[in-house]
Structure 1
C-alpha cells in the first residue's frame, strides 16, 4: 500500500495510495539493500501477470504494484491456470488460495504500537463478521500464520509505501507476513486506527489470494497506472463480481486515505472463494 507525498508537509495526507498486497510496524530496521532489477526478472514478473512499472528489489525479493511481495519461488512457479485472459473489470484472485477449510488463521503483531494492534483487531473483526470458512484470531504467543511486522522507509518519487504482503503458497497456506511502514510520513505521529485497520484489512486480502479490484486499470483509484499486467498466472476472474469499476472496494489499488471496508461486491467475492 502506498500514499502520495508532497514537499509541503501540510498537504501530506491529501492522497493515500494503496499498494496492496500491500501495509506497517513500529520498529525501525534498516532497509535491505535495493539493487537494479534485471530484465530477466522483469520478464518473469510480466509473465506472471503483474505490472513491471516501479518494480524494486527488496528484502530478498521484489515489490510489485506497490504492495505485493514476490520472491524467486513465486517467479519460478509453474502456472496451474488453464486459461490466460486479459483483465477486464471484475475482481480477480490468485491461483493459490487458502485450503484445508474451515480454518482459523492466527495473526501476531510484533513490535508495533497500539494503533497497529487495534487496527489488526479491527480488520479481524470485519473478516470474522462475514461468516466465512476462514476466521482470524490475534495471538500474542506461539506460532502465527501471519505475522504483522514493521519496516521503516521514507518517501520516494512522490509516494510512500504504507505496507506490503504476498500471496498464498502452493501448499494452501496464507502468505505469512504483512509489513507496515513506521516512517512518520506513512501514518503520522498519531495513527488513526480505522485507517491503519483498513490497510491491514487490504493486506490480509492479498495474503488469502486477492488481487486489486481495479487490476484492469489502476488509474481508477490511483489516478494513473493503467492495466497492472497481461493477466497470466495469478489473475483468475471471480464470477459474480461487477462488470464495471467498483467504487469503495477494500481491494482497490489505491486508498482514499480513510476508513475503507468491504462493499457489497467484496462480500460476494469473499463468499465465492471462502
Structure 2
C-alpha cells in the first residue's frame, strides 16, 4: 500500500511525501500474496533488506511469465534466487550512497530500454516524456553506461522495459541486477503517476532505473524521507559506495519516498555514486 507521510519542514510548512514502497496489483495481472518464513526473513535481514513489511507475491509480467518475489517497498527479490545472495558485513555509520551486491557487468552496460506503448499497459504521453528525460539524465553522465531508448511493443529483446500498471497510487517498482550482471528487466509505473507532473514522473522512473542498475535507497537505514519513526530495519547494511560522501541531509533521487515537487534531476551525490560504480 502507498504510504503517505506529512512532515513538518518548518513551523508553518507541511509537505506530502509519497513512498515508492507499495505492492503492485493490476487488473491484468492478479497476484497471490504469501507470508515469508522466519528463515527467509532472516536471510533478507542479512542482505540489508527492510523486513518490516515483506510479502511474497506472484507477479506476471508482459511476457506472460509468473514468478514469486519478495516485495519490500519498491524492491523485488526473486524467491528462487534468495540462496544465491551472500550476507553483507556490517559497516561503520557515516556512509552515504548504497548499492546492491550485484551491479551491471561491463558486457551489459549498453542497455536497450523500451517504453512500452501497447494497450492498457502502455505508458501515457506524460510518462513517455518523463522516461525520455530520465534516460537523458543517465546518458549525460561520463561513465560506461549507455542507454538506447525506443518506444513500442517489442519487449523481448529489450534489457529494461518500462510499462504502466493499473494502480491509482503513485510510485512504481523494480528489481535488482542478477548474478550474471544483467540489469533487472521490468519497471512497473503506477497509473496514478499520471496525476503528477512530468518532473515527478521523471524522478520516479529515474529512481526505478537506479534499482535496475543496483542502487539502493539512500535512506534505507532510517527512511527519513518517509517520516519513518519505527525500529531500524537491519544492522548489516547495503553496500556503501566508496568515495561517496556522508551527510545527514536527504539529497538523492534514490530516497525511499518522493514529494509532489520533485525536479527529477540527479543530485551531485547521485552523479558521484553512478560515476564511481560505472
Fold match, TM over 0.5? yes
The answer for the alignment partner of 1:175 in structure 2 is 184
- Contact persistence 1:88–1:216 (CA under 8 A): no
Normalising by structure 1, we get a TM-score of 0.81
The count of corresponding residues between Structure 1 and Structure 2 is 251
> In the alignment, which of 250, 271, 274 is matched to residue 275 of structure 2?
271
- Contact persistence 2:5–2:226 (CA under 8 A): no
Q: Within 5 Å, which residues of 2 pair with 1:1-274?
A: 2-4=2-4, 14-19=16-21, 28-58=27-57, 59=59, 60-64=68-72, 66-79=73-86, 83-85=89-91, 88-101=94-107, 103-110=109-116, 111-139=122-150, 140=152, 141=154, 143-153=157-167, 160=169, 162-182=171-191, 186-188=192-194, 190-218=195-223, 220-224=224-228, 225=230, 227-231=232-236, 235-257=238-260, 258-274=262-278
Question: How far off its partner does 1:187 sit?
Answer: 2.3
Q: Secondary structure at the residue paired with 2:106? A: coil
Deviates more, 1:32-41 or 1:161-170: 32-41
Show CA shifts across 1:125-147 (max 9, x none): 11111122001111234610001
- Contact persistence 2:207–2:254 (CA under 8 A): yes
- Contact persistence 1:91–1:269 (CA under 8 A): yes
Normalising by structure 2, we get a TM-score of 0.80
User: Structure 2 unaligned runs (5+)?
Assistant: 7-14, 60-67, 117-121
Of structures 1 and 2, the one scoring higher in RCO (CA 8 A, sep 6+) is: 1
CA RMSD, Structure 1 to Structure 2 (Å): 2.8
Aligned equivalents of 2:96, 2:251: Cα separation in 1? 14
Aligned equivalents of 2:114, 2:27: Cα separation in 1? 18
For residues 261 and 16 of structure 1, do their structure 2 counterparts lie closer, same or farther at Cα, with a shift above 3 Å needed?
same
- Contact persistence 2:5–2:227 (CA under 8 A): no
Q: Secondary structure at the residue paired with 1:272? A: helix
User: Structure 1 unaligned runs (5+)?
Assistant: 7-12, 155-159
Q: Secondary structure at the residue paired with 2:257? A: coil
Aligned equivalents of 2:125, 2:247: Cα separation in 1? 38
Aligned equivalents of 1:152, 1:87: Cα separation in 2? 39
